[in-house]
Chains A and B, each alone.
Chain A
Amino acid sequence: MSSSTLKPTVVVVGNGMVGHKFCEKLMARSSTFKIVIFGEEPRPAYDRVHLSEYFNGKTAADLSLSMAGWFGDQDIELHLGDPVQEIDRVHKTVRSLKGLVQPYDFLVLATGSSAFVPDIPGIEKEGVFVYRTIEDLELIRGYAPHAASGAVMGGGLLGLEAAKALLDLGLPDPHVIEFASRLMPRQIDSAGSHLLESRLKKLGLQIHLNKTTLAIEGEGRIEALQFADESRLKVDMLVVSAGIRPRDELARLAGLQVGTRGGILVNERLQTSDKDIYAIGECALAGGMIYGLVAPGYEMADIVAANLAEGSKSFKGFDMSTKLKLIGVDVASFGDPFIAEPDCRTIVFEDRYHGIYKRINISGDGKYLLGGILIGDASAYNLLLQTVNNRMSLPADPGDLILGYRSGAPEGAGAMDLPDEALVCSCESVSKGDICKAVTEQAADTIDGMKKCTKAGTGCGGCIPLVKDLITGTLKASGRYIKNVLCEHFDHSRQELYDLVRINEVRTYDEVLGRYGKGDGCEICKPAVASILAACWNDVILKQATIQDSNDRYLANIQKGGTYSVVPRIPGGEITPDKLIVLGKVAKKYRLYTKITGGQRIDLFGAHVGDLPDIWEELIAAGFESGHAYGKALRTVKSCVGSTWCRFGLHDSVSFAIEVEERYRGIRAPHKIKGGVSGCVRECAEAQSKDFGIIATEKGWNLFVCGNGGARPQHAQLLATDIDKETCLRYLDRLLIFYIRTADPLTRTATWLNKMEGGMSYLKNVIINDSLGMNAQWEREMQALVDSYHCEWKEVVESPELRRGFTHFVNAPRKKDPHIAFEQMRDQVRAKEW
């Protein structure tokens, strides 16, 4: 590069997270600098925040902050494993370990920190480690198999991370030794620590507080810790994580001013006592503080980049609010977590059953939030932090902030109320304004798009829910999201179309499209309208085969390779030995793979499309019927064995499950529906994870609704208690029709309820108190569906015309698809990998 000799040279000492961020920021702001980096570690910058994931299967490459080749592409000179040894401020050069002498115009010290190792006798023994770099982790990993027990010195943030690493390495019940009287003393209070302690104990950690370690004992290698209270703990290895110490030795050597307790002194522009030398990150002492978190380090990187590139930006301190997941437990603290009465008013919520602690500190006049602590559930963190930082006014009942909006306001309300300058992603310092602008000006309307545009959410990821709310909110505000339409062919929502179809008695897709739509339809509106037509009229769906989703078109589930699976209904999961034998015979005859499903049925996989009618003919002859496993319809009602056999059972859950399944079988809905009936509170049918769950009580049945498993599991909520069977069915009739009428396509009952204004109390009012006055009509509509039930497969088996549709080649009906291939596995077939 001939031009680079003309460019002013910025030398960066240290290639950690902050040093790396500085290069990114400077490159983004200006191309007039040549950058030369010296790093001590043998690898380029990596994500130290998620270091413990290294024991969780992540590799050094996964943790790397830059793509291979990034430095070369950016015209940055990178010297790894070659720390700077000396700064010559007079000639403005640095000299590296390998003897390189590099001139600089500006020097940025990002030397970070080292682990603070207390001066305890025996600290040099074998088996004592620090927890700082990937090399440290490799040493720990190498030693752990030789150790039967381990301890971590330090119960702060990093110490608990290190304890997790020991757990991941398979050390049983590692000890955490903390000098202070509580865990994470910088972030949380005693009550919070207490709760965190009990959760961590459950996960296998042994916590020792108020422990001063006097000596590390052992012959050459660690064998035990000796404490000031004269107690002793036998351990084979120790990880020291007692804090950090700024790496300021290079600065001291160069005669730069340092703090009395370490750290390179910097002014607001982050200049050291030499105006051409800057210091950022954990090595810098700014405003009397060492900032040991990555977010303020990134902020410093941005400020120095800005000051070098064009202008004047100053560092005014940084909010030390933090949220993290420690060994699976959410811990967050924000604003001033410790301020206490009488300087504020405090609201505390403690739930020892679920292990949740929340504290918020409110100004004496009740107007503002000052800070707080969240443990076990930090979902409100982003909103609370924004409320503090932007001095947003509090709701009438500030307790709502941590207890949820008891009036049922949807989660995420309020995101759009934030001021534009509100910092949403603190890792990448992206504001609410930046995010909204990216939505409107760069069409970044997905999380991935937003990450590309703004980098928001690419750091710790904690802000992603808030980013999502902002994207949705901005789209709504710009009018792009307001109308909920089915797809490009219909300017109506599913609910509107449902009403139009029912009121005007429209019976075919072509008629619906002709009257209410445009174009020729698509794979979104065709199955949605098919579902509406089925829910309204319950006609044979194969009369309009080509508007059905692929599974409905062949009344079977298409599987890898192009074969189908067959699932006959087994109501309540009860089946006779004779029927089991039939399933076995059919499976053998057609060479099908058999597996018990999650819904207490038997799934037969690997059927050729041309064999489906023959298979079903045999199954129907043996008394089976379609299980609708292919449809967005009622699937199964799972049951436990109940009072007929179980010594705990209160009522006959199997009989009730069969009754309910047979009542609603085949009914099509916006999404699949599953139910469960349990004979007692032990809940062996897992009914609370279903769209409806019925659980026996001494006096009758409890009805839970709108739960589901799947990607985002949600427990069903209690709708009614101690009701009899008839009432239960009546409530279910109403609930299901209400859902079928009003839910968007492919929306499960749980999401439907989540989106419902007023939530559960509204739903109760509709179903139980008939607040809409619709219940009588809905019950009639449900009864019409129940009465018009027919087995779809029976229709096909008995109709030569419908049977003709089940073939792979229409010009060679008997020939099977030669493309289909199987492999053997555990004495059965499986689909060949694609």
Chain B
Amino acid sequence: MVTKTTDMSTATNTPIKDLRWFNACRVEDIPADGGACIRHGDEQIAIFNFSRRGEWYATQNLCPHKRQMALSRGMIGSAGEQCEPKVACPFHKKTFSLLTGECLGGEPYHIRTYPVRIRNGKVYIGIEK
């Protein structure tokens, strides 16, 4: 598998220099145009390989609607003219922006997003120091 070395900083207010990057998994662990879950301490993080667009995203794995560890198993896609990347929870199809974490159905749910960086076939997630 050929992988580029890319930075995929998803929307976050934390300046890049204040982030600590950890190696979450290998690129091939995450299916093309899909997601998978990794554990980091007690945290569960969903990582999405949006291969169609050459983009990577990461969010919390917990769907805030019914508090289910499920977002990594959701389908990804795009919404609207701007093609906002999104994920749909497999439980009740609540959709969330992968950029902002906002619930696209207009409900007051919000999920946390993380910046992603790809180096030498490995996936790194940035968390605040």
Binding site for B on A (CB under 8 A): 488-489, 510, 519-523, 525-527, 545-547, 549-551, 553-554, 558, 561-562, 805, 808-812, 815, 817, 819-820, 834
Contact = CB atoms under 8 A, between A and B. Distances in A.
A471 B22 CA distance: 54
Given A558-B90, A817-B69, 7 more contacts: A523-B95, A546-B76, A551-B90, A562-B70, A805-B31, A808-B69, A810-B37
Nearest to A813: B29
17 contacts: A488-B80, A519-B83, A520-B83, A520-B85, A521-B77, A522-B95, A525-B77, A546-B34, A551-B90, A558-B90, A558-B91, A561-B68, A809-B37, A810-B38, A812-B38, A819-B62, A834-B67
A520 B88 contact: no
B66 interface: yes
Contacts of B85: 520
Q: Which 4 A-B pairs have the closest CB atoms?
A: A546-B34, A550-B90, A522-B77, A523-B88
B44 interface: yes
Given A510-B52, A810-B37, A811-B38, A523 B68 contact: no
Interface residues of A: mostly helix, strand, loop or mixed?
Answer: loop
Interface in B41-64: 44, 50, 52-53, 62
Contact of A811 (B24, B73, B86): B24
A810 B25 contact: yes
A519 to B, nearest CB: 5
B63 to A, nearest CB: 10
A810 B76 CA distance: 18
B39 A819 contact: no
B116 interface: no
Contacts of B53: 520
Nearest to B82: A519
B31 A834 contact: no
Contact of A810 (B30, B90, B93): B30
A819 B38 contact: no
B78 interface: yes
B115 interface: no
A523 B93 contact: yes
B83 to A, nearest CB: 5
B11 interface: no
A810 B66 contact: no
B69 A819 contact: yes
A549 B79 CA distance: 18
B33 interface: yes
Q: Which of A525, A808, A834 has most chain B Cβ within 10 Å?
A: A808
A225 B86 CA distance: 72
Nearest to B79: A522
B8 interface: no
Interface of B: 24-25, 29-39, 44, 50, 52-53, 62, 66-70, 73-80, 83, 85-86, 88, 90-91, 93, 95
B30 A553 contact: no
A812 B44 CA distance: 11
Contacts of B32: 546
Contact of A815 (B39, B69, B91): B39
Contacts of B33: 510, 546-547
B25 A811 contact: yes
A550 B63 CA distance: 14
A526 B80 contact: no
A520 B52 contact: yes
Contacts of A549: 75, 90
Contacts of B69: 562, 808, 817, 819-820
Contacts of A546: 31-35, 75-76
A450 to B, nearest CB: 19
Report which residue of B24, B34, B67 has the largest number of chain A beta carbons within 10 angstroms of its beta carbon. Answer: B34
A554 B70 CA distance: 13
B80 A809 contact: no
B28 to A, nearest CB: 10
Contacts of A554: 73
B52 A522 contact: no
A522 B39 contact: no
A544 to B, nearest CB: 9
Contacts of B31: 545-546, 805
B76 to A, nearest CB: 8
B39 A811 contact: yes
Give the most central of A488, A561, A810, A820: most B CB within 10 Å. A810
A553 B73 contact: yes
Contact of A521 (B24, B35, B66, B78): B78
Nearest to A809: B39
A554 B35 CA distance: 13
Contacts of B70: 558, 562
A550 B50 contact: no
A520 B35 CA distance: 15
Contacts of A561: 68
Nearest to B50: A520
B89 to A, nearest CB: 9
B124 to A, nearest CB: 12
Contacts of B24: 811
B37 A808 contact: yes
A818 to B, nearest CB: 8
B85 to A, nearest CB: 7
B18 to A, nearest CB: 24
Given A810-B29, A810-B36, A522 B88 contact: yes
Nearest to B55: A520
A526 B78 CA distance: 11
B126 to A, nearest CB: 16
A812 to B, nearest CB: 6
Nearest to A545: B31
B78 A519 contact: yes
A520 B34 contact: no
B39 A523 contact: no
A811 B78 contact: no
A372 B72 CA distance: 60
Nearest to B69: A819
Given A809-B38, A810-B30, A526 B75 contact: yes
